[in-house]
Amino acid sequence: MTGRIYLSPPDISELEQRYVMDALRSGWVAPVGPDLTAFERDIAALTGTAHVVALSSGTAALHLALSALGVGPGQYVVVPTLTFVATANAVRYTGAEPVFVDCDPQTGNVDPALVASVLRRLRGQGHRVGAVMSVDLFGTCADYDALQPICAEYDVPLVEDAAEALGASHRGRPAGSFGRAAAVSFNGNKIATTSGGGALCSDNAELIAYCRYLSTQAREPVVHYEHTEVGYNYRLSNVLAALGRAQLARLPEMIAARRAMRERYAKLFGAVDGVRLLAADEGANCWLTVIVVDPVVAGWRAADLAQALADADIETRPVWKPMHRQPVYAGNQAELTGAADRLFETALTLPSGSALTPPQIDRILETITAFLEKPR
């Protein structure tokens, strides 16, 4: 063994180093500058959207999107229960309350039929629904063919959490282009990174302009500091944007490496009874490969494989713990089928990073093979 293997570490090359050094030498180190402007233009081209504002995190993007849509106290927002906590937290930041919805057991993405059921119930009870949020889980887009008509029927805006899906697509349409607005993430473990960072994408020029204004402490365009409403310190720096530009230039090759790793896992587990890969369509960016284990059929649990890999200093992780099981959201309404709970108990995310070296890949696959061949 030659060091720990991580789930999804940053993939940094000499190109990123050169872009960052050029930005530092230019003197543009604040949340303004040519790299920031160019980065926003690059994200817009990648997501197929007309307007983008680059921000300090994907969470900030979700918060601003909901705020710009008028979501606030006394309202509910429909949120997938199988997601990272940032999706739900952004709702709480506005003063609204999330209502959690279970997932499709094959993909882990939100179940559109349950979304429709929740909207029908909330509307029938006279509640105000500020938005529906989707999550493109592990790099596979949600079922927008079903979700968009549902949101249109109930006249509720859709906000896409595409934090995990940069570079992915749904029926040829890029992740980040669905709904009234969409958030992408450039956190350190994402498919492309700016260390920390995110962006909000939309075809609505007024929405992005307002979010840009809020992201700079809601400063009025006058020579002195004038503020008529509460804003936030959410803008991305020019230096980090330079890092992001280099990452986007390399994004196709990084996605290809993750897809190739998923194919290696598919081949390895293809003949193993009781194990399947969490479904990912041809447009997925394969951010993380996830296996789902039926312990009765397989004769072992996902946690057993996780321990074997941990013993070899290889990182794995369960899928997101459902929001309805998180103590901070235990009292919130939830429409459940048990699908997310089952995935939390039986699924495991495997190392998927594009920076994995051939020796590291061999070590991962050899460790899994030895585990599978162990008598039980």
Among 249, 280, 295, give the residue marking a domain's end: 249
Q: Which domain holds residue 198?
A: 14-249
Q: Is there a single domain that holds both residue 350 and residue 361? A: yes
> HEC string of 212-276?
HHHHECCECCCCCCCECCCCCECECCHHHHHHHHHHHHCHHHHHHHHHHHHHHHHHHHCCCCCEE
Residue 172 lies in a domain: yes
Q: Is there a single domain that holds both residue 56 and residue 184? A: yes
Q: Is there a single domain that holds both residue 241 and residue 266? A: no
Residue 6 lies in a domain: no
Q: Is there a single domain that holds both residue 88 and residue 137? A: yes
Residue 8 lies in a domain: no
The CATH number for 167's domain is 3.40.640.10
Q: Is there a single domain that holds both residue 226 and residue 365? A: no
Model-wide pTM > 0.85: yes
Among 232, 249, 266, give the residue marking a domain's end: 249
Which of 141, 88, 140, 149 has the alpha carbon at shortest distance from 115?
149
User: Cβ(287)–Cβ(190) under 8 Å?
Assistant: yes
Residue 202 lies in a domain: yes
Q: Is there a single domain that holds both residue 243 and residue 330? A: no
Q: Is there a single domain that holds both residue 69 and residue 169? A: yes
Among 195, 222, 249, give the residue marking a domain's end: 249
Tokens 């960016």 — which residue? Answer: 285
Q: Is there a single domain that holds both residue 84 and residue 179? A: yes
The whole-angstrom separation of Cα 230 and Cα 266 is 50
Q: Is there a single domain that holds both residue 256 and residue 217? A: no
Model confidence pLDDT, tens digit, residues 210-222: 999 999 999 999 9
**Across the beta sheet with 334-335, what order do the strands follow?**
51-55, 198-202, 181-185, 158-161, 128-135, 75-80, 97-101, 334-335
Q: What does each of the 376 residues of the chain score in pLDDT, given as a tens digit?
A: 579 999 999 999 999 999 999 999 999 998 899 999 999 999 999 999 999 999 999 999 999 999 999 999 999 999 999 999 999 999 999 999 999 999 999 999 999 999 999 999 999 999 999 999 999 999 999 999 999 999 999 999 999 999 999 999 999 999 999 999 999 999 999 999 999 999 999 999 999 999 999 999 999 999 999 999 999 999 999 999 999 999 999 999 999 999 999 999 999 999 999 999 999 999 999 999 999 999 999 999 999 999 999 999 999 999 999 999 999 999 999 999 999 999 999 999 999 999 999 999 999 999 999 999 998 7
Q: How many domains does the chain have?
A: 2
Residue 1 lies in a domain: no
The whole-angstrom separation of Cα 156 and Cα 301 is 41
* Structure tokens, 159: 């906000």
Q: Is there a single domain that holds both residue 218 and residue 269? A: no
Q: Is there a single domain that holds both residue 257 and residue 244? A: no
Q: Is there a single domain that holds both residue 210 and residue 255? A: no
